[in-house]
Amino acid sequence: MSEIKIKVKDNEKSFSQGISPKEVFESLNIFSRSIIAAKKDGKPIDLNTKLSEDCILEPINIGSEEGEEILRHSASHIMAQAVIHIFGKDVKYAIGPAIENGFYYDFDLEHSFTPEDLEKIEAEMRKIVKENYPFERKVLPKEEAIKLFTELNQPYKLEIISEIPDDTVSIYTQGDFTDLCRGPHIPSTGYLKNFKLLSVAGAYWRGDEKNKMLQRIYGTAFATKDELKKYLHFLEEAKKRDHRKLGKELDLFSINENVGPGLILWHPKGAMVRKVIEDFWKDEHIKRGYQFLYTPHIARVDLWKISGHWDFYRENMFSPMEVDKGLYMVKPMNCPFHIMVYKSKMRSYRDLPIRYAELGTVYRYEKSGVLHGLLRVRGFTQDDAHLFVTEEQLEDEIIGVLDFTNYMIETFGFDKYNIYLSTRPEKYVGSLENWELATNALKVAVEKLELPYKIDPGEGVFYGPKIDVKLIDALGREWQGPTVQVDFNLPERFDVTYIGKDGKEHRPIMLHRVVLGSMERFFGTLIEQYAGAFPLWLAPVQVKIVPISDAHKEYAKKVYDLLFENRVRVELDDRNEKMNAKIRDAEKEKVPYILIIGDREVSENTVSVRKRRQGNLGAQSVREFLNRVLTEIKEKTID
């Protein structure tokens, strides 16, 4: 048998053809049970793959990013096997990939999964793990694979096979379960030790709501018991902070099926937080030379054809409606309207940069399966702005936007965030020269500000590259936030110009930017960041006054009036309830300050102050407390 050369790290040796990665690692005394797969010339393969050519080989450890993905993908196969063991061979299994921190598998069966079923499936998975079935890979001609999955009565696999262009496909078998899969997988089921099934959700086949609704079981798996325990604790914390749960408990917002999915009803308390955010947003824009606009919610379809959204974004736009024999549609974005304002008169180079800002409500068609509380909606208000600049101004304006963004998000308590520079996608408009110029301007801006960033290849929008800022919350999760995008395309499509120093027409560059994101998504992010306990300056109710008995209500009302006159958001709880019950209710509402008033407070003209998380602060004069609160509000103190 001929020999092949295999390089592992700095060690290159000759081996017989047909040797496996596991055997190579064993011969070099570097194999351990933590190695679950290998990379051959950078591509992941199974440990028992037969090697037939010279290559560079690397071990994949179970605790590495690639190792965890392989572990989780294998866990999805084991879960599918367990489901069939329990519910029979009539179960149709669709796809089961690894995802971030876990895995899922989609099933088609008459029975609706319950939490009790997840316990049974998990128990059956542990039996399969104990059996330690090897994952065995075979490569079959497509005709043979079609025959196999026809006999197994698995239509979803047959549909996938029909779309594979190759003449052969690979399958994996562990014990009595066979699946269509590229792999690789862990060597055997016994390698899966630390896992947990989490939930069941509905999912349309291939994400298309025209297709059948399947049942998706989610699970998670980790290399170690400690990592699994830590992640399950994280999920519990995330559950407590879920903005949908807190939104209902704190009476902040709701979504009503009679109104429509993805459309938010802001309740008084949620609307108050939004007002505070918007007032702050407007004040800071005025300081930075922005001018405010208001634009319509609908426009002629022609506007979106000119902009290019009709060609590049149509699947996310609502269908047009007929008005006066013309076609109109609700706006998916604000930019064409801002261009129309710019074009309403001739502009000079002396006018630039022009910075337009609008809290503009837009509407986008999102499939029902991806709607998620405030975070993924169909109607939302963007803190939108569009800047019209010369090429010479471009870099400074990007720096200005990034500096503004940094100030805004840190004021709201986000001191950690990741920055991504998104480059040209496959489908784009405009010249490569302009793309290069725009991308370089973004790159120079972040580097001048000494901001660490990552390249996100191919994730720019169709008209230009962008910088995305993703906020990191108290649990370490990323949230989509501010963005700045450079656009040469729309000024060209709409023939936007200005008169330069030479008296000739020139084309400005357009910047699209948001410093918070949409009001809905940002509010959802804030709810989860603070677990509903907003900082004082943002809290819908900042102070709750609790008189102990009817005898203290008159004085309590005077305290209320003083705070109210000074624009403190205050409530007086004069219900005929016991004091402790009133305090408990205020704590459940996550009110920052509770003022308790009894005989002593009335006689001494004071209030007894309780602060959220800190407890009893003792007695203070009313004026002293007022000054304390006003200072905290002015300084936008974060608890």
Return the residue matching tokens 């290069």.
436
CB atoms within 10 A of CB 240: 12
Burial 77-98 (b: 16+ CB within 10 A, else e): bbbbbbbbbebeeebbbbbbeb
Whether 610 is a known active-site residue: answer no
Q: Give the contacts of 538 (CB within 8 A, at least 6 positions apart).
A: 273, 276, 277, 412, 526
**What's the half-sphere exposure (Cβ side, CA atoms, 13 Å) at 373?**
19
For residue 420, list its beta bridge partners.
Answer: 454, 468
Of the residues 196, 309, 466, 513, which is catalytic? Answer: 466
What is the residue whose two structure tokens read 């109710």? 541
The question of whether 181 is a catalytic residue gets the answer: no
CA distance 600 to 455: 63
**Element housing 61 (H / E):** strand 55-61
Active-site residue, 384 included: yes
Residues 364, 378, 582, 610: which is the catalytic one? 364
Angle at 504 between CA 390 and CA 340, to 5 degrees: 60
Distance CA 354, CA 288 (A): 11
Tell me the DSSP string of 182-207.
Answer: -----SBGGG--EEEEEEEEEEEGGG
Check if the beta carbon of residue 269 is closer than 8 Å to that of residue 252: yes
Residues contacting residue 99 through CB under 8 Å, at least 6 positions apart:
72
CA–CA separation, 263 and 269 (whole Å): 17
Annotated catalytic residue within 81, 382, 393, 542: 382
Active site residue 54: no
Concerning whether 466 is annotated as a catalytic residue, the answer is yes
60: region left, alpha or beta (phi > 0 left; psi from -120 to 50 alpha): beta
Instruction: State the catalytic residue, choosing from 216, 243, 386, 569.
Output: 386
Give me Rg for the CA atoms of the chain.
Answer: 30
386 a catalytic residue: yes
Pairing mode, strands 253-254 and 213-222:
unpaired
DSSP string, 438-463: HHHHHHHHHHHTT---EEETT-SBTT
- Nearest in space to 590 (alpha carbons), one of 514, 538, 552, 516: 538
User: Among the options 512, 521, 569, 582, which is catalytic?
Assistant: 512
SS3 635: helix
Catalytic residue from among 73, 81, 335, 393: 335
Query: d(Cα 593, Cα 581) in Å, to the nearest integer?
Result: 16
Catalytic residue check, 50 = no
DSSP 578: -
* HEC secondary structure over 83-126: HHHHHCCCCEECCCCEECCEEEEEEECCCCCCHHHHHHHHHHHH
The 3-state secondary structure of 126-170 reads HHHHHHCCECEEEEEEHHHHHHHHHHCCCHHHHHHHHCCCCCEEE
Residues that are catalytic: 335, 364, 382, 384, 386, 466, 512
